[in-house]
Structures are given as C-alpha cells and as structure tokens.
Amino acid sequence: MTFLNMFGSKEEPTATKADDRLSLVLSYQRSDIDERKLKFFQARLIELCDEFDFDVVGQVTIIPQSKERTTIINASIPVRKKENG
Amino acid sequence: MTLNHRSVAITITSGKGGVGKSTTVASAGLGLAQLGYRVCLVDTDIGLRKLDLMLGLENRIVYDLVDVVEGQCKIRQALVRHKEYPELALLPAAQTRYKEEVVPQQMEQLIHELRKEFDYILIDSPAGIEGGFRNAIVAADRAIIVVNPEIPSVRDSDRVIGLLESANIGQIDLVINRVQSDMIKDGDMLSVERVQNHLAINLLGIVPEDKRIIRSSNTGEPVILDDKSMAGKAYANIARRLSGHDVPFLELESDTLISKIKRLFHIA
C-alpha cells in the first residue's frame, strides 16, 4: 500500500505559500502598518468609488505586499457602474 | 605578513539566534587569516560566549572584553592568538558578566584601538536587537546579515537591516546559511533568489547545510579547515569575496540518480 501511495498526488510545495506569507509579514513590518488606519483607508476607498459613480458589490480587500524593500498596497474592489450614474 | 590595507570593522548579525553567526565569524575570520590578513574576532555576546569554543581557544583565556573596557588589562593581554594562524586573534566575551556592563562608547574606543593592529575586525553580535546588538554595530563600517531560508529568520533579518540602515552602516551584505538544494527543488524551502529578493541586499555567500559543522563545533576546528566540507568551501569563498576577490558561487545541486528516482515517484 505504501508503495502504491508513492504514485499518488504529491503534497503541495510549501515554499510558494511561505513566499506569500513572507511578503505579507515583511510589508507589515516595513510599513509599520496600523490596522485601524488600514480600515480607514478601506472606508475612504469605498467612499471614492461612490464619488466616481461605482457601487461596491463585494468584499473589499486591502493586501500590502513587499517587493525589494518597497511596500505595494493591493486593493481589490469589486464594483459595478451605478445605474443612474 | 602585513598587507597594505585599511582596517575594516565588520559586524556579523542576524536578529534571530542559532542561524550560524559565530560559525560564520570563526570560518570567515580564519579564511581571511589564511589569506595573510591580520584579523581580530571580537565576541560581544557577553554572558554567552562561544567563539572561543569554535576556535578551540577556550583553555587559553585569561582576560576578556569587559576586563579591557574596564581597564583591568591591556588589549594585548586579552587577545588570544590562534595556534596555527597567529595572524588571527580572539578578543573573548566575558562569560560571567552582563551585556549592560559595556556601553557603546566603550566599544567604539575598543574598536578604534584594534584598528591600529588589524586589517579586519569581525564583531560577533549577540542575538536580538537590544544593548548587545547596539554595542556590536556602533563602530562597524560594514555588516553581514546571516539568514536561514525560513520565514522567522528572514523577518528578523529584515528588521535588523532597517536598524543597520538607520545607523548609517555603509555596506550590508547577506550570507544565506543552511541551504538545502533538495528541499528547494521540492518546493519546501525558500530559494536563495527569493530570500535575496525579499531582503534586497548584496549576496556575499551561500552556505549549504552540512553535518560536518557539528563535528567542527565539537572539535574546535572551524569548518573552513575541513577539506571534505562543502560549507567550509563556501566560507573560504566568503573570505575571498570579503577581501575584494570576485569568486563565483558554489554549485549546490546534488542531482544524484537516487534523488531523481525519488522525485519521479514523488517520495522526495
């Protein structure tokens, strides 16, 4: 049975996950990100969407990432154009 | 042999403990001495010294770093010369004192004095970013960050790089230690490239995981003296790069028939 298991699917490599986690923890560490400020930033983005005639139609996510000692803030905002816009 | 060389003080640090700082100091220092440079290794890990053991000099210590800064002895009296390589000297840390007993100004003065006699001063920093770390970096011209390819070590190193930059350390280099090429190949260890990209500093050396390092710690002979050790070769290259030579990085791949078969059957 052990022998047969050898042909089974291999476990997912962990280094890719580690790389993503590392990118996230370094971003937080380098920018000294304040979670409250990040939520405020998220709220302002939603307000901006409204100003520009977009309805936010899903979960807004703000993910800081780190690349070569620079922090990149990735914002994912699912929107739809306002019908009366 | 005395070479015409401006004295350089280099702090070896990491943030996290147990990543191989003292191993790096012992072998890189010995490597520089083998190249003919006058080298002083300064152990600043007061209360937890280990460089003496790694160099096999533990039985020859009379005075230590704290004795020197307190004026109990002259620097020359506290320096312990290596038996085979007299160009290499160790200034041991005190084992029964506390880090707080030395302040940065005293360290600055000490390194200033050592510069008159040595081409390279390698300062072994304690783990952490507290007073001992500040003592270790206060007089450094350069720093070497030793990191293991794993998240806790890389995160701590990143924090230390920030502190070194704030302290205006001129050059910061990276040594990636305990690299296992088979684990990288299987996707279970961060690659050298990824670690270097995250930390974004100059790569000085890549040291493979090597069981012979344990043997070297036990015998008090730095691994650079072990002809059979890949890590020893890597440290010899690091010493040569530190002295300005352009040396290619070691090829760490060990793609044996067995490892190929293991990967084919997904059991590696």
Which regions of B106-186 does DSSP assign to beta strands (E)? 120-124, 142-147, 171-179
Chain B nearest-CA distance from A54, in A, is 36
Asked if A30's CB is within 8 angstroms of B187's CB, the reply is no
Q: Are A66 and A23 in contact (CB under 8 A)?
A: yes
Ramachandran area for residue A13 (φ above 0: left; ψ -120 to 50: alpha; else beta) = beta
Asked if B194's CB is within 8 angstroms of A15's CB, the reply is yes
In tens, the pLDDT along A12-27 reads: 778 888 888 898 888 8
Nearest to A22 among B186, B189, B198 (CB): B198
Nearest to A68 among B184, B188, B200 (CB): B200
Cα–chain-centroid distance for residue A47? 19
Asked if A15's CB is within 8 angstroms of B197's CB, the reply is no
Helix axes B151-166, B192-199, angle to 10 degrees: 30
Chain A residues within an 8 Å CB radius of B191? 15
B:163-192 residues touching chain A, CB 8 A cutoff: 184, 186-191
Nearest to B265 among A7, A14, A29 (CB): A7
Asked if B200's CB is within 8 angstroms of A69's CB, the reply is yes
CA distance B246 to A58: 54
Which regions of chain A does DSSP assign to beta strands (E)? 54-56, 61-67, 70-76, 79-81
Asked if A15's CB is within 8 angstroms of B184's CB, the reply is yes
Chain B nearest-CA distance from A60, in A, is 27
**Amino acid A32: pLDDT:** 75
Predicted TM-score of the model (pTM) = 0.83
**Amino acid A23: pLDDT:** 87
**Amino acid B234: pLDDT:** 97
Is residue B264 less than 8 Å (CB to CB) from chain A?
Answer: no
Nearest to B266 among A10, A19, A30 (CB): A10
Q: Classify residue B88 by its DSSP letter.
A: E
Chain A residues within an 8 Å CB radius of B266? 6-10
How many Cα neighbours within 13 Å face the side chain of B56? Answer: 16
The amino acid at residue A83 is: E
Asked if A6's CB is within 8 angstroms of B266's CB, the reply is yes
Asked if A22's CB is within 8 angstroms of B155's CB, the reply is yes
Cα–chain-centroid distance for residue B243? 15
Three-state DSSP class for A67? strand
Q: Classify residue B152 by its DSSP letter.
A: H
Looking at the predicted structure, is the pLDDT value of residue A36 above 70?
yes
Q: What is the mean pLDDT of each run of 10 residues along chain B (268 residues)?
A: 71 94 97 97 93 94 94 96 95 86 93 96 93 94 97 95 92 96 91 93 96 91 94 97 93 62 54
Asked if B162's CB is within 8 angstroms of A30's CB, the reply is yes
Chain A nearest-CA distance from B200, in A, is 5
Which regions of chain B does DSSP assign to beta strands (E)? 8-13, 39-43, 80-81, 88-91, 120-124, 142-147, 171-179, 202-208
pLDDT class of A4 with cuts at 50, 70, 90: low
Looking at the predicted structure, is the pLDDT value of residue A6 above 70?
no
In this prediction, what percent of chain A has a pLDDT beyond 70?
A: 85
Q: Are B156 and B14 in contact (CB under 8 A)?
A: yes
